[in-house]
């Protein structure tokens, strides 16, 4: 398939998701998050507030129905594609592309694979905390890819902001964050970065982004973090 055909397929996928989001009944979980959206806070018992913020913004545009609840999530699933495509180019650059696939063969396969996964398919139509999480983790991967490809220190700031916003979506964002910290500590190139201010500034940006969620937990007996930590223990 040509690149133009792939683009047409992606546009068709977006249109299908928008139609499904408009007409499918609101799920119980979405209704629960809709209640959050109408009671703004820096945190909630089950999750951080990003899903509520997205629903609130969508409902301001399209009303308190399925379309309003899901619209931003559906659009984000498509806006994530150029970030993912560039990340694939950057991470794939050191490896030669098999003959006959063209320069963008790996990009096309990577984007198609993500769009075909159950996680992306469901979370592009049904609004859950995973929906903004997937978007911000994709942006984080893009920033890391740009950092690896260019060596420009400013990408640490973008990475920190994206990682912080991912944590504001779902606490499992600590896992890719831990991976970055491990690379900084264990890899020679990472340790070289630690002698420069950029990754530390990126960490400060991430902490600034998550500070409202941490503050909410601190003033509510750490209820949300303890609840999710208990699930890990189970």
**Whole-angstrom Cα distance, residue 134 to residue 146?**
18
Other beta carbons within 10 Å of 11: 11
pLDDT at 99: 45
Alpha helices in 43-104 (DSSP H): 50-62, 66-92
Question: What are the tens digits of pLDDT across the range 25-62?
Answer: 999 999 999 999 999 999 999 999 999 999 999 999 99
Question: What are the tens digits of pLDDT across the range 165-177?
Answer: 999 999 999 999 9
Q: What are phi and psi of 20, to 5 degrees?
A: -60, -45
**Whole-angstrom Cα distance, residue 175 to residue 189?**
21
Instruction: Give the list of residues 6+ apart from residue 115 with CB closer than 8 angstroms, or none.
Output: 10, 13, 77, 81, 121
Distance of CA 119 to the CA centre of its chain: 12
Q: What are phi and psi of 38, to 5 degrees?
A: -95, 10
Sign (positive or negative) of CA dihedral 24, 30, 36, 40: negative
Instruction: Give the list of residues 6+ apart from residue 205 with CB closer than 8 angstroms, or none.
Output: 157, 160, 161, 164
**Is the predicted pLDDT of residue 232 greater than 60, yes or no?**
no
**Whole-angstrom Cα distance, residue 74 to residue 79?**
9
Distance of CA 183 to the CA centre of its chain: 20
Range list of β-strands (E), the chain: none
Question: What are the tens digits of pLDDT across the range 127-160?
Answer: 999 999 999 999 999 999 999 999 999 999 999 9
Greatest Cα pair distance in the chain = 59
Work out the end-to-end distance of the chain between its first and last CA atoms, rounded to an integer number of angstroms: 46
pLDDT at 25: 93
Q: Which residue has the higher pLDDT, 115 or 201?
A: 201
pLDDT at 108: 76
């Amino acid at each position: 398939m040509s690149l133009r055909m792939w683009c047409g397929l992606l546009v068709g996928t977006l249109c299908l998701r928008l139609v499904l989001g408009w007409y499918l009944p609101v799920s119980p979980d979405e209704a629960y998050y809709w209640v959050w959206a109408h009671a703004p806070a820096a945190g909630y018992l089950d999750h951080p507030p990003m899903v509520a913020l997205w629903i609130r913004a969508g409902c301001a545009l399209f009303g308190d129905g399925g379309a309003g609840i899901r619209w931003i999530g559906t659009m984000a699933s498509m806006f994530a594609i150029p970030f993912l495509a560039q990340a694939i180019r950057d991470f794939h650059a050191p490896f030669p592309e098999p003959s006959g696939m063209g320069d963008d063969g790996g990009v096309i396969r990577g984007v198609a694979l993500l769009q075909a996964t159950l996680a992306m398919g469901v979370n592009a139509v049904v609004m859950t905390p995973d929906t903004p999480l997937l978007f911000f983790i994709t942006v984080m991967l893009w920033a890391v890819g740009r950092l690896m490809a260019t060596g420009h220190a400013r990408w640490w700031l973008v990475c920190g902001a994206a990682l912080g916003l991912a944590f504001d979506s779902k606490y499992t964002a600590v896992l890719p964050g831990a991976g970055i910290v491990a690379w900084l500590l264990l890899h020679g190139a990472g340790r070289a970065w630690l002698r420069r201010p950029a990754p530390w500034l990126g960490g400060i940006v991430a902490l600034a982004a998550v500070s409202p969620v941490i503050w909410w937990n601190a003033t509510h007996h750490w209820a949300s973090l303890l609840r999710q930590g208990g699930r890990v223990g189970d």
